[in-house]
A = this chain, B = another copy of it.
Amino acid sequence: MELLYDERIDGEIADVDKSGLMAAILAVAPRLTLLDREEDLRPFECDGLSAYRVLPMLVAMPTTLAEVEALMRVCYEHAVPVVTRGAGTGLSGGALPLEKGVLLVMSRFNQILSVDPDARLARVQPGVRNLAISEAAAPHGLYYAPDPSSQIACSIGGNVAENAGGVHCLKYGLTVHNVLSVEIVTIEGERMTLGGESLDTPGYDLLALFMGSEGMLGVITEVTVRLLPKPEVAKVLMACFDDVERAGKAVGDIIAAGCIPGGLEMMDNLAIRAAEDFVHAGYPVDAQAILLCELDGVESDVQADCERVRQLLETAGATQIRLARDDAERQLFWAGRKAAFPAVGRMSPDYYCIDGTIPRRELPRVLKGINDLSAQYGLRVANVFHAGDGNLHPLILFDANQPGELESTETLGGRILELCVDAGGSITGEHGVGREKLNQMCTQFAADEITLFHAVKSAFDERRLLNPGKNIPTLARCAEFGAMHVHHGELPHPELPRF
């Protein structure tokens, strides 16, 4: 297989004549909003990963499909790279702008086009907020299942681009399991629909390929999502443990017993204390770990499942088990969990959120490994997990004003991700690779796999104009990083340089 990578994705982009480009764009899309003054560009310099900031050359805020098509055609002709951005809540820097690129902001595509309760689907524009879809579907007793913590703010286009998850994706799947089709515009300005309402589509499954592709393959201009009926009842059990690994094992026990909770979350002592101090959710601050297990469905099932899970938790060594007494307390239990990130933020000048996944059975071992690494690097780590699906979010506490702490934090984060890969997991669960985890991709994948990724990218975007420098590292980067995944072998040395 030929090496198809392109060094330019590391930043060597040709100079662009900005005023010429603007004139060319406005010639074909005269009403398109273009921003190029520094004070207008500043709000777009980063996404949710605020450690990295770049001012874009130009921001375009289209309101019509024709404007998107026209913009793409001009950028393609001028060989100007395009980074697409939704609400900008992403945590891996996927929407980080380029100084010599156009930032295409899709936030004005914010219409819910239709809700079809019979077919149980909604057609929406990409700038529609995740939660707004559920609100529009609520009168029909339906909702959109994937619920990232940022669901009040994040938009569905970004959810598709990152294949977002959430508390409920254990039972209801990731974004990929809840989207029926997307309309895209290619870098050449061609409109295309991937997927459809029917069960299966012939040809290659380009819809699945597109999900989570981080803006590298095309611009999303419409999304058709699946809606689900709201569960009749939901109950939450909170179980306390005096040992983190024991809590990890209980997670596996629940799943192995044939029970699929609506959500199954875990927090360790540091996260518990932070959340309790912030939200007063009623968490036991002396527990080493708590599990929150939500069971949803029809009344009779939920009753029976609660009883089974309670027994499993007792057998697993829970020191205390509490059923939320009413819906208010249930929501309070969740409020603590959902506020865990900002709560940890109150305990430390800075924190760095890791996003890795592991097979559930590896939870106890990986938890121990994280603990050992935390001690080794002298940095506190608060653990908040989507435990049911093995998606870890360790939060490393640090102080960027202390010389060397950011570097140590990044190194520790890399080590934790390598631990995940070593356990048969992966370097991202739901936050994506973006700009942040390019180096870790070298750990996860072998050279022939990365070459294949580049070849697939070429099928959509031969000139590499869509979101260059994200998601897939160049082989040159991996060589420089000194790490290339060795099948079934030793992990590479862990000294991660910054990018």
Q: Is A300 an interface residue (CB 8 A)?
A: yes
Which residue from chain B places its CB closest to the CB of A471 in the assembled complex?
A: B203
Provide the residues of chain B in CB contact with A141, threshold 8 Å: 258
Contacts of A425 in B (CB 8 A): 196-198
CB distance from A9 to the nearest CB of B (A): 14
14 other A-B residue contacts (CB within 8 Å) besides A196-B426, A198-B357, A203-B472: A118-B256, A119-B360, A141-B258, A174-B199, A176-B205, A192-B449, A192-B452, A198-B429, A200-B357, A202-B428, A203-B445, A205-B212, A206-B453, A208-B211
A69 CB–B CB distance under 8 Å: no
Q: A117 — which chain B residues lie within 8 A by C-beta?
A: 256
Choose one: B192, B211, B429, B453; the contact of A203 (CB below 8 Å).
B453
Q: Is the CB of A201 within 8 A of B426?
A: yes
The stretch of A38-46, A105-113, A458-466, A474-482 that contacts the partner chain: A458-466
Among A122-130, A131-139, A430-438, the one that faces the other chain is A430-438
Q: Is A16's CB within 8 Å of the partner chain B?
A: no
Structural contact, B361 and A118, CB atoms closer than 8 A: yes
Cβ contacts under 8 Å, A359 to chain B: 119, 197-198
Interface residue from B169, B200, B424 paired with A428 (Cβ < 8 Å):
B200
Query: What is the distance, in angstroms, from A392's C-beta to the closest C-beta of chain B?
Result: 10
- The CA of A361 and the CA of B121, in the complex, are separated in Å by 12
Interface residues of A (CB under 8 A from B): 1-2, 117-120, 141, 163, 165, 169, 174, 176-177, 186, 188, 190, 192, 196-206, 208-209, 211-213, 217, 229, 252, 255-256, 258, 298, 300-301, 304, 357-361, 389-391, 424-430, 432-433, 437, 441, 444-446, 448-450, 452-453, 455-460, 462, 471-472
Bound complex: CA A361 to CA B201 (Å): 18
With both beta carbons as reference points, the residue of chain B lying nearest to A162 in the complex is identified as: B200
Which chain B residues border A211 with CB–CB below 8 Å? 205, 208
Report whether B202 and A205 are in contact in the complex, using a CB–CB cutoff of 8 Å: no
CA distance A255 to B459 in the complex (A): 38
Report chain B residues within 8 Å CB of A205: 163, 176, 208-209, 211-213
Given A205-B209, A209-B208, are A1 and B200 also a contact pair (CB < 8 Å)? Answer: no
Shortest CB–CB separation between residue A456 and chain B, in angstroms? 5
Q: How far is the CA of A457 from the CA of B1 in the complex (A)?
A: 13
Given contacts A200-B426, A429-B199, contact A229 B212 (CB under 8 A): no
CB of A444 within 8 A of CB of B301, answer: no
Give the one of A117, A424, A426 with max B CB within 10 A.
A426
- Which 3 residue pairs are nearest across A and B when measured between Cβ atoms? A208-B208, A455-B459, A198-B357
CB of B203 within 8 A of CB of A441, answer yes
Describe A's contact surface by its main secondary structure.
Answer: loop
Q: How far is the CA of A449 from the CA of B210 in the complex (A)?
A: 14
Task: Decide: A229 near B258, CB < 8 A? Known: A199-B389, A426-B196.
Answer: yes
> Contact between A1 and B188 (Cβ–Cβ < 8 Å)?
yes
The chain B residue with its CB closest to the CB of A425 is: B198
Which B residues are CB-close (under 8 A) to A452? 192, 206, 459-460
Query: What's the least CB distance linking A65 to chain B, in Å?
Result: 13
Assembled-state Cα–Cα distance A33/B460 (Å): 40
Q: How far is the CB of A344 from chain B (nearest CB, A)?
A: 23
- Docked Cα-Cα span, A163 to B198, in Å, equals 14
User: How many Å lie between the Cα of A358 and that of B358 in the bound state?
Assistant: 38
Interchain CB contact (< 8 A) of A206 among B186, B200, B201, B456 = B456
Q: How far is the CB of A137 from chain B (nearest CB, A)?
A: 13
- Contact A1-B462, Cβ < 8 Å, known A208-B209, A229-B258, A424-B197: yes
Which listed residue, B199, B429, B471, touches A390 by the CB 8 Å rule? B199
In angstroms, how far is the closest chain B Cβ from the Cβ of A190? 5
Please tell me if the beta carbons of A437 and B390 are within 8 angstroms of each other in the complex.
no
Q: Which residue of B lies closest to A190 (CB)?
A: B448
Give Cα A26 to B367, complex, Å: 50
Q: Which residues of B contact A430 (CB under 8 A)?
A: 199-200
For the complex, what is the distance from the CA of A357 to the CA of B301, rounded to whole Å? Answer: 34
Please name all residues of chain B whose beta carbon is closer than 8 Å to the beta carbon of A169 when the two chains form the complex: 199
Interface centre among A2, A204, A424, A449 (most CB of B within 10 A): A204
Are B186 and A200 in contact, with the CB atoms below 8 A? Answer: no
